[in-house]
Structure formats: C-alpha cells, structure tokens
Structure 1
C-alpha cells in the first residue's frame, strides 16, 4: 500500500501542479484515507490513488465484491469529499466534537491519515512567520480509526485536517454505485414475480388471516 502524503502545503504550489483531489478514499489494506479518483473499466470500479503508481490501485468487481445492497452502501461510505487542512487563522472555528482527520506518524518517516474527534483546544498566542500567521494552539483529539484508535493525543495545527460534512459529488462514482444498487431492486422484483407464478393459483381458497397479517408486518419492517 502506498505511503500517505502530507496535505498541508508548506510552499506555494507550482503553476502546473495538479489540483487537490476532490475526494478521499479509505483504503481496504490499511483503512487510512488517501486522495483518489475513480474510473469504470470493463464494468469494474477502479480506485486510483493520487500520486501513487498503478499497482497501488484497488478494484471492485460488481458481481463478487458487491453481492448485496449492504456491500454497496459500505463501499459508498469509503468515499468522501477531500478534507481541508486547518488554516492557522481559523483554529478558533473548531469546537469539541468536530470530526478531524489527523496525520499519524507510523515511524520511519511514514505518515498516514486517520479520523479523530476533537476533545479540547488549548489556546495559545499566534505568531507570524514570513508575514503569515502561525497557530501555536494545541488540539486534544481522540482517534476513532487507525493503530491509535481509542487513544487521545495532543497535536499541533500542522497535522490537522477538517472533515467536510457535505456529501461527495462525483458523477462516475455515483452512477456506478446507483446502477449496482438498483440491480438488487430489479432482482427482487424478478424473484417475487417468479415466486408468484410458481405458487398454486389457490382459486376459490381464502388465505388465513394470520398469514396476511404476518406478511403485512414483514413488509413494514423491511423499509
């Protein structure tokens, strides 16, 4: 699995630098978040990690990997809008309970990003470096993912990214997942129709009341 790259730029981007990824993906191999984009190839969903070689890509086969509506929903939950690096001048906007994504030092210089929840902010006077405001506050956050899950750490602004609550809007991903999700609805309708055709006609018979009542409650509980 590729190593994460830091999202918070320390220098001005070059004129031809690629724009930041529009979305992030939680990888199956290490459950860390990476900038990613997707394409559909031969009916499969291909997840391509930003700034990593092709052999790091992850693939999803609709038939084998997405065998139920729950599988589709679980895959959809692995994508979200790209997190934003916390701006030094806006640290005061954070509140306890906010969802964060933090850089986690995996030792050996490897950095990966996992989610956490903000618990407290320790305010400190901001300084100025090269004419830019620099936050000196400390943020206590409890990890909800990754190797330090359940632990609390006090970190600086340089490792903090803010999770965006608004839903992801990627037409390729949305169309692929919606198509697979709708397939289960069609399969259910076909199975129901086949069952009705195979069942005895029961002409002249009256179904027991208890059977009808059970069916009605079962349908209600399925929505």
Structure 2
C-alpha cells in the first residue's frame, strides 16, 4: 500500500469514534474521536460520541506539568472495546481484564475496567436459531465508584479490550507536551544547579551538585513508550 493510501486510511480512522477515553470527572470510559484544536498541534480536542460539542475536552500541551501527568494521560486512551458475543463467552477466563457496564439509573450507563473473578458456565439456549449465553461473570471493579467490589454480570455487560495502539494525532500531541516539559525542566535544573554551585564548595573548590534525575528519566521512559506505540501503530496498519 502506498504512503498516501496509509495517510488517507489514518485520517479516515480518526474521523470515526474508534477510540475510548477514560474521563477525568467520573473515571468512566467513553467512545471518542481525537482532533487538533488549531494549527500548531499543541491543543487537542476530545469529542464524545452522542454528546454535544459542549462536552468536548480541550487539552493544552503547556498544561502538563510533569511526565507523570503525561503518562497518566496516555493511559486514559485505548482502542474501542468490542461487545462480547454470546457464542464467544468461552474466550473470557478468570483473571482476564475486561471493560464492563454499570448502571446508575434508567439512562445512566457507564463503563469501567474490571477483572474476571470467576466464570459460572451455563448451557446456552437458542431463540429463533440464535445462540444466547446464560453464563454469569463475577467481576471485580478496578476503578470507578465501586472499585474493589465484586458483582455478577451477563454477557451483554462485558466488552473485550482490543489493544493499546495510540492514534497518530495523540502521539504528535504527546511529543509536543514532553518537549515543553523537558525544556521547562532543563531551565529549572540549570537555575537550581547554579544556586547549588554558589552555595556548596568542597575544600578543593570543586562544586558539589546533587540532584535526583527521576523526572528527566521519566520523560525518557515516556518518550520511549510513545515511540514504541507509534511504531506499533504503523505496523498494524
């Protein structure tokens, strides 16, 4: 496939709500699409499926203060999960991570990650020639308002995770955010080092400068993670 064809496929994919985002306010997963807000690439808009533009989230690269915040942000995206189909319930096993729905009212259904705690298998029935799963899935919530609680769910409530490749626009935005953090951190370290050099001298007049490079190391690790995910995305196209 030609390079231009790859680009068109990538653009078409990002026009769809083919990703999920774990919202900051309620920690639940929602179907979203990602696009740039403006031309510089340092502002990203997250649009929610079946919600008006008033619910859009705007993220600005300058607002991330540490690589840890960027890493958390990356973890809030993944490829849209797939509804578990009745004939495929045997794919789900104990210890498997899934996405499951939880109801908070008549029209308030939200999705959270969970671990399969136990599978209670039952013989499937057939209605009008269609196989219907009657198994019970005991799940333990990993986040959300009921974190840690174990509850039983049916096949209709279970979705299968589909991978973690990152959308190209998200990769680009993250790279910009990391560069801004790196630049700000280097300035901060330079200023701090100068202060330490002025204050701390050993007997030979050599500067004694001690600081922990944990933040810079985290930036390197997150940058490597972005590169790996970006490469994985290209290979999967």
Band the TM-score falls in, shorter-chain normalisation: 0.7 to 0.9
Is the CA contact 1:35–1:50 (under 8 Å) kept in the aligned structure 2?
Answer: yes
Deviations 1:102-137 (A, max 9, x none): 111112332111111101111111122333221111
Aligned pair 1:157/2:155, yes or no?
A: yes
Cα distance in 2, alignment partners of residues 60 and 20 from structure 1 = 19
Q: CA deviation at 1:74?
A: 1.5
Q: Matched residues in 2 for 1:114 and 1:50: separation? A: 17
Quick check: which one's helix share is greater?
Answer: 2
C-alpha displacement of 1:93: 1.5
After superposition, the C-alpha distances for 1:124-159 in whole angstroms (9 at most, x for unaligned) are 111223332211111111112222222111111011
Displacement of 1:196 in angstroms is 6.8
Distance in 2 of aligned mates of 1:70 and 1:220:
11
Q: Does 1:27 align with 2:26?
A: no
The CA distance in 2 between the partners of 1:148 and 1:193, in whole Å, is 45
Secondary structure at the residue paired with 2:148? coil
Instruction: Give, in whole Å, the separation in 2 of the partners of 1:102 and 1:20.
Output: 22
Deviation at residue 207 of structure 1 after TM alignment: 2.4
- Residue matched to 2:226: none
TM-align CA RMSD = 2.8
1:163 shift after superposition: 2.2
Query: Measured at CA, do residues 221 and 147 of structure 1 come closer, stay the same or move farther in structure 2, by a change above 3 Å?
Result: closer
1:50 matches 2:49 = yes
* Conservation of the 8 A alpha-carbon contact between 2:137 and 2:152: yes
TM-score (norm 1): 0.76
Aligned-partner SS, 1:167: coil
- Tell me the residue number matched to 2:7: none
What TM-score do you get using the length of structure 2 for normalisation?
A: 0.72
CA distance change for structure 1 residues 197 and 113 in 2, over 3 Å: closer, same or farther? closer
Name stretches of at least 5 consecutive residues in structure 1 with no aligned partner: 1-18
Mark the structure with the bigger radius of gyration.
1
Q: SS where residue 149 of structure 1 aligns? A: coil
Q: Secondary structure at the match of 1:63?
A: helix
> Which whole-Å CA distance do the structure 1 matches of 2:215 and 2:47 have between them?
39
